[in-house]
Amino acid sequence: MLQNYLPVIMQTCVALGFCAIMLGMSVLLGQKGQKNATKDSAYECGMLPVGDGAPRMSIKFYVLAMLFVIFDIEVVFLYPWAVQFRELTAESAMAFWSICGFVGILGVAYIYALKKGALSWGD
């Protein structure tokens, strides 16, 4: 059984050896970089890095963005069902009632988010 894996093991050893040799050669033969304040500073499209990196944002923005993504993905699940609606309901009404349950749970989640105030921007 080990003979089946021998080419894979050999290729892995060759790849690891090549990486080790190249890294070792770059350490031994490469030039050492000079550090200074100009090279260590952040570069933002030619602008001088002044002030904080990013402004602080309210958590409400992130909650609203996550809710949008969640409800958007849930709505995407309705498209394949809508395309196959005639074929699904021709066989039995179970497909219709299952999507009603899906939309019902989605509606309950939406009402819960409204009641919690997750969709409002005001304080």
3-state secondary structure of 43: coil
Question: In the structure, what pLDDT confidence band is assigned to residue 2 with cuts at 50, 70 and 90?
Answer: confident
**Per-residue confidence (pLDDT) for residue 24, from 0 to 100:** 96
> Can you give the pLDDT at residue 53?
65
The confidence score (pLDDT) of residue 107 equals 93
Reported confidence tier of residue 95, pLDDT bands at 50, 70, 90: confident
Nearest to 105 by CA among 87, 78, 82: 78
User: 118 and 67 in contact (C-beta within 8 Å)?
Assistant: yes
Residues 35-82: tens digit of each pLDDT: 888 777 777 677 766 766 677 778 888 888 898 998 899 889 888 888
How far is the C-alpha of 83 from the C-alpha of 87, rounded, in Å? 9
